[in-house]
């Protein structure tokens, strides 16, 4: 027995009541500043950051079918139970014996291991799609947020449509007003970093306890539409240790900083840096100049 939409009778209904085919856009995010505190007793590092979505996105095609299946254009991406899309599907319908089934195709444009939340975004967009269907027996919105939190620390952010100040493991969120659509470049080595190694090295530096994040100052600079001066107040605490261990990362930053950018920083603990530019024209010229210098480089803007 399939699910019917709420308000209808539960019976021998079919998945024809669901959209036959749906296309979802799944955006990346960047960390505008990333402060990381000492390892806590629960095995996690407390952090502070301003999360913003950017226009680089994956595409997810969802079709109703008679059995669940996931495919991906990138053969390096697992399509079994390790993939967050698969895990999101099973978590959403965990209390239902005969849920609707989908064939999902994931077209990856966001590189895996880049530190910009591609997998988390995939899961969040799929969860939101399921919730919009208003199926009988589906979780409430509060339960949906709990599912997102349990799946991964970054997923709750993508349930929102605005920038968020993040604390805790990244799951304690305070929404903030939208930021202007600043032109950016996302670039990197293309080689995922070992996150556990990054944090192990960081722990060896005896990090300090977190102090208040300069949210008002950062927001004021960002609303001036150029990012100039951000380097004086926010940084990624992991960047120094990463560049020391992986010197090729420092080369990426140097190329971006010398391409007319007003602010350049590593995002998260992955291999991607982002640069904020004073204009689209300067950004596009930098793209043209650096395209053959870096394994991964994309132009985008803040959403």
Residues with catalytic annotation? Answer: 29, 154
Q: Which residues pair with 58 in a beta bridge?
A: 26
Residues in the chain: 303
Contact indicator for 41, 27 with CB cutoff of 8 Å: no
Q: Which residues pair with 184 in a beta bridge?
A: 276, 300
Q: Which residue bears the tokens 């969802």?
A: 62
């Amino acid at each position: 027995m399939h699910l019917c939409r709420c308000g209808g009778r539960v019976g021998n209904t079919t998945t024809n009541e669901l959209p036959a085919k749906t296309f979802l856009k799944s955006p990346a995010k960047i960390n505008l500043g990333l402060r990381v505190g000492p390892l806590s007793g629960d095995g996690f590092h407390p952090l502070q950051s301003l999360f913003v979505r950017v226009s680089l996105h994956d595409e997810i095609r969802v079709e109703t079918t008679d059995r669940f299946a996931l495919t991906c254009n990138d053969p390096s991406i697992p399509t079994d139970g390790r993939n967050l899309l698969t895990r999101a599907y099973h978590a959403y319908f965990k209390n239902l014996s005969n849920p609707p089934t989908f064939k999902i195709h994931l077209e990856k444009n966001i590189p895996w291991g880049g530190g910009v939340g591609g997998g988390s975004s995939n899961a969040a967009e799929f969860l939101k799609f399921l919730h919009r269907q208003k199926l009988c027996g589906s979780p409430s919105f509060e339960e949906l947020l709990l599912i997102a939190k349990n799946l991964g620390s970054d997923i709750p952010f993508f349930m929102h449509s605005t920038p968020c100040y993040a604390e805790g493991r990244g799951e304690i969120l305070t929404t903030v007003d939208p930021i202007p659509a600043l032109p950016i470049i996302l670039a990197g080595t293309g080689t995922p970093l070992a996150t556990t190694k990054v944090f192990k090295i960081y722990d060896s530096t005896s990090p300090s306890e977190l102090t208040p994040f300069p949210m008002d100052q950062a927001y004021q600079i960002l609303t001036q539409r150029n990012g100039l001066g951000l380097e004086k107040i926010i940084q990624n605490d992991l960047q120094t240790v990463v560049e020391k261990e992986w010197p090729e990362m420092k080369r990426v930053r140097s190329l971006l900083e010398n391409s007319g950018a007003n602010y350049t920083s590593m995002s998260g603990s992955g291999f991607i840096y982002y640069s904020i530019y004073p204009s689209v024209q300067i950004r596009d010229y930098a793209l043209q100049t650096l395209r053959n210098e870096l394994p991964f480089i994309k132009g985008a803007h803040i959403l």
